[in-house]
Amino acid sequence: MNIFKKYAATVCIPPLKEKIFLDLKASIKRENLIRRFFQRINKDLILLIYGQFKLDKTVIPDKKMKILWIHYGRFNIGDLLMDLSPRTLFDNKKYTIDLFTKDSVNEIFINDKYFKNLITNPTDLDHKKYDFIIMQKFSGPIIKLKIKYQKNVPFFCIQKYFAFGDYSRLLFGYYRLFKALNKKSLSNKKIIQTYFNLNLSHKSLNKKNNVFIAVGGIQKDRTYKKWVQVIDGLLKKQSNINFYLVGSKNGSTNADKIMKRFSNSKIYNFVGKLTIIETFEKLKESSVFLCADGGLMHLGKALNLQMTALFSGDIHPLMRFNFIDKSTAIYSRNINSIEANLIVYETRKLLHSPTKKLNLIFR
């Protein structure tokens, strides 16, 4: 029974010695033992039948190579940036890396200096030869792509069987690749950064009194509904603030309500009007960025912006932030139970006294 449990445990226990933030108890509770066992054995049988175990490496060779990185799954900007930010650990004079992923990811990484080619059509892999493969995880689609198009090429798998949903993905990826590349030490936490498209500057413009707000959201538990109260509270304390509303089309109705409520104030509405790259460029003008956990928050992290970020449910702030991040993260079990007055107070602190480390608040 112990062997059985150990075998199945790889689905919810990360394959590394270093500590990362995750709720292991919640993971084990959510995925029962039998389900975890079959999640792994189904993949192992395919890997065994097609002779992949002998090609599974723990170290990425230190030599000039052409590499294919397969990152293939549901499109989520935040997860994508956390998973692929550790690409900066590669020496791009030594390694040439192609990225295989979905069409929707292309815009984000066009001309990125670490990815020579972006490939979205599997048949394009037929005509390409690689020295090494990086598989993001042992998922069915990724395993099938590897076997069908690059069957005999050695590989390193970052997540392996680990399929737990909520954890510190950024830190996890850096630890795994740092070890695989035989780097000496990851003691300098400044190395661990979020990166967007590295063809673009990641420097903010250090503007004053510009408060950006991410309006809307796909998930209810990550959608804050009290931005009107926050703006009202900030304007009562400081009338010279410029507000910029950003977000996708799902926030358009709320943005319109804000614009009507504050028609005489300096509020500029860009919700649903900018591409992801245009939003990234616009965010450079931010003094403080107010947002809930989501894709735009990760753009803010890539720019090292000061943020007042809101968290709820199963997402602990340390699954997204490190202690060196110069932001305030507020957590409540219900995101809309976070008081507008608290956001006003913390935002004003950041406007007038920039922080040098992460400030965690739990409600």
Assess if residue 264 is contained within a domain. Answer: yes
SS3 of residue 288 by DSSP: strand
Which amino acid appears at position 174 of this protein? Y
One domain, residues 16 and 137: yes
One domain, residues 186 and 214: no
SS3 of residue 244 by DSSP: strand
One domain, residues 162 and 236: no
CA–CA gap between residue 27 and residue 24 (Å, rounded): 5
Assess if residue 197 is contained within a domain. Answer: no
Assess if residue 203 is contained within a domain. Answer: no
One domain, residues 216 and 161: no
In DSSP terms, 66 is beta-bridged to 96
pLDDT digits (tens, 9 = 90+) for 246-282: 999 999 999 999 999 998 889 999 999 999 999 999 9
Assess if residue 21 is contained within a domain. Answer: yes
How many domains is the chain built from? 2
One domain, residues 14 and 104: yes
Average pLDDT score over residue span 115-137: 93
One domain, residues 185 and 228: no
One domain, residues 230 and 185: no
Contact 13, 28 (CB under 8 A): no
One domain, residues 248 and 132: no
Task: Pick the last residue of a domain from 159, 191, 223.
Answer: 191
Query: What integer pLDDT is reported at residue 164 of this predicted model?
Result: 77
Q: Give the residue among 220, 198, 351, 217 at the shortest CA–CA distance from 295.
A: 217
Average pLDDT score over residue span 230-258: 95
Average pLDDT score over residue span 96-118: 91
Assess if residue 181 is contained within a domain. Answer: yes
One domain, residues 220 and 327: yes
Token pair 């049988």 is found at 45
Query: What integer pLDDT is reported at residue 53 of this predicted model?
Result: 97
pLDDT digits (tens, 9 = 90+) for 34-89: 888 998 999 999 999 999 999 999 999 999 999 999 998 777 899 999 999 999 99
Q: Give the model's confidence band at 210: pLDDT under 50 very low, under 70 low, under 90 confident, else very high.
A: very high
Sign of CA dihedral 236, 237, 238, 243: negative
Q: Determine the longest span between alpha carbons in the chain, in angstroms.
A: 69
Assess if residue 202 is contained within a domain. Answer: no
To the nearest whole number, what is the mean pLDDT of the chain? Answer: 92
CATH code (residue 278): 3.40.50.2000
Full-model pTM: 0.93
Cβ neighbours of residue 304 under 8 Å, at least 6 residues apart? 193, 202, 204, 325, 326
**Can you give the residue range of the structural domain that contains 60?**
2-191
Assess if residue 279 is contained within a domain. Answer: yes
One domain, residues 75 and 216: no
CATH code (residue 158): 3.40.50
Task: Pick the last residue of a domain from 191, 226, 259.
Answer: 191
Q: Which is more confident, 256 or 32?
A: 256
One domain, residues 160 and 220: no
Token pair 């920039």 is found at 354
SS3 of residue 277 by DSSP: helix
Q: Say if residue 207's pLDDT is above 60.
A: yes
In DSSP terms, 232 is beta-bridged to none
One domain, residues 217 and 267: yes
Q: Give the residue among 219, 169, 196 at the shortest CA–CA distance from 305.
A: 196
Encoding tokens for residue 163?
């399929």
Assess if residue 200 is contained within a domain. Answer: no
